[in-house]
Amino acid sequence: MNIGFISTSRADFGIYRPLIDRIIETEGLNYLLFIGGMHTTNRFGNSWKLIEGYGYEIAERLSPLDDNDNQEGIAKSMGETLISYGRIWDKYKSQLDLIIVLGDRFEMFAAVASVIPFNIPIAHLHGGEETKGAIDNKFRDAISVLSDIHFTSTENHCKKVKNLTASEQVYNVGSMGIEAALSVDLIEENEFEQKFKVSISEGFILTTYHPETIALNNEEKIEELIQALKEIPVKVLCTLPNADTEGTVIRNKFIQYEREFPEKIVCFENLGQLGYYSAMAYCKMMIGNTSSGIIESAAFNKMVIDVGNRQEGRERGRNVINVPNKREEIINAYRQFNPKKSASFDHPFGKGNTSFEILEILSQLTK
């Protein structure tokens, strides 16, 4: 059985890894990686090189995103992605038994839409979730409707996908992100400092903040977060935002903050999966609005201040606190934070054995 994976960003590939590793170990299964989007775009660090550096073979590397991240640029990137992937499926249609896709990004939706004329079955991970502050919300549901098999991260998400698609092939298998976080060999603290040229011994806050793409006005929102981070007496390690509408606004603000206060904040385009999970494991807490602060943070029992509305509606564990995107609200949430609470939090995202469950289900479906 030949299983294709569409990967368009650093986030989805990191989540795929345990499943790809399981496929490599399983006789009769093969994987093909189709890489595009942020992976092949210079301003996001050409993360396809990290994938090859981990030892994975890339079947095809597609064209990068449009340089503009305004609304027209996003639409243009979607069109170019759809055309590029269409050529790929015409080449590989006789070789693929299934294509696995993840999540909700605009370039993932375009890639999935391009599969439909070729009648290649699609399996969707992480359907049924909700992020009311981002246009991703619509893309996620659209990808679910276009897909044939569904692997959800919680029971509530499973119920939603069943209602949305009327499909009988919907399975709650937990989050692959939990398994990915638990399965990596973390970088030792001293090695982390040497590799990324940053001191973490005195503790730090891990921050990733993406634009809200429903209600824009991100320049004002990022200013509120940065002012709060300036007043919180802890160093900040920041990973820069994804390719979304107005992402450049946020990126430029963080880079300007780093230039002015290099002793307070260090920004990275891409830490890689090992670096990012290691940073998550070693940080005092997370502040931002990334989905990894909702899901993978639970694997490390980290307290998270989720800022603003981007992740509104997403199911979460007790380790996550949501606050409005206001300086004083973020600071107050930090002051209420008690490190002793970071012991063990319940979460709804499974036991960390998602890849085993997926392959078992696929083996039953293909008998």
228-286 pLDDT per residue, tens: 999 999 999 999 987 777 888 999 999 999 999 999 999 998 898 899 999 999 999 99
Cβ–Cβ under 8 Å, residues 186 and 273? no
Q: Phi, psi at residue 235, to the nearest 5°?
A: -65, 150
Rounded to the nearest 5 percent, the helix, strand and coil shares of the chain are: 45, 15, 35
Q: Are residues 168 and 201 both part of a single domain?
A: no
**C-alpha distance from residue 118 to each of 19, 61, 324, 355 (Å):** 24, 20, 44, 26
Task: Report the phi/psi class of residue 42: left, alpha or beta, with left for phi > 0 and alpha for psi in -120 to 50.
Answer: alpha
Judge whether 181 lies within some domain.
no
Judge whether 184 lies within some domain.
no
Q: Are residues 232 and 252 both part of a single domain?
A: yes
The label of the residue with tokens 């430029």 reads 252
CA–CA separation, 273 and 289 (whole Å): 18
If pLDDT is split at 50, 70 and 90, which confidence band does 172 have?
very high
Q: Are residues 138 and 254 both part of a single domain?
A: no
Q: Are residues 324 and 355 both part of a single domain?
A: no
Q: What is the pLDDT of residue 338?
A: 64
Q: Report the number of distinct structural domains present in the chain.
A: 2
**Rounded mean pLDDT, 291-304:** 92
If pLDDT is split at 50, 70 and 90, which confidence band does 135 have?
confident
- What stretch of H or E contains 122? strand 122-125
Q: Are residues 163 and 24 both part of a single domain?
A: yes
Judge whether 213 lies within some domain.
yes
Q: Which domain holds residue 233?
A: 189-341
CA–CA separation, 313 and 144 (whole Å): 17
Angle at CA 66, nearest 5°, toward 110 and 134?
Answer: 55
Q: What is the pLDDT of residue 245?
A: 79
**C-alpha distance from residue 21 to each of 30, 54, 61, 64, 243 (Å):** 10, 11, 20, 26, 27
Q: Are residues 200 and 331 both part of a single domain?
A: yes
Q: Are residues 360 and 333 both part of a single domain?
A: no
Task: Report the phi/psi class of residue 350: left, alpha or beta, with left for phi > 0 and alpha for psi in -120 to 50.
Answer: left
CA–CA separation, 321 and 87 (whole Å): 44
Judge whether 36 lies within some domain.
yes
**Residue 340 reports pLDDT greater than 60:** no
Q: How many CB atoms lie within 10 A of CB 9?
A: 21
Angle at CA 47, nearest 5°, toward 255 and 285?
Answer: 55
Judge whether 29 lies within some domain.
yes
Q: Are residues 113 and 141 both part of a single domain?
A: yes
Cβ–Cβ under 8 Å, residues 262 and 231? no
Judge whether 170 lies within some domain.
yes
Q: Are residues 9 and 156 both part of a single domain?
A: yes
354-365 helix and 176-183 helix, angle to the nearest 10 degrees:
130
Q: Are residues 302 and 327 both part of a single domain?
A: yes
CA–CA separation, 299 and 286 (whole Å): 13
Start-end of H helices in the chain: 10-25, 48-53, 71-92, 106-115, 136-146, 155-165, 176-183, 189-196, 218-231, 247-260, 272-282, 327-336, 354-365
Q: Are residues 207 and 142 both part of a single domain?
A: no
**C-alpha distance from residue 123 to each of 5, 91, 101, 207, 323 (Å):** 10, 20, 6, 31, 34
Q: Are residues 10 and 154 both part of a single domain?
A: yes
CATH number at residue 247: 3.40.50.2000
Determine if the pTM surpasses 0.85.
yes
Q: What is the pLDDT of residue 342?
A: 52
Judge whether 182 lies within some domain.
no
In the chain, % of residues over pLDDT 90: 70
Q: What is the pLDDT of residue 93?
A: 95
Judge whether 20 lies within some domain.
yes
Q: Phi, psi at residue 35, to the nearest 5°?
A: -110, 130
Task: Tell me the Cα Rg of the chain.
Answer: 20
**Residue 194 reports pLDDT greater than 60:** yes
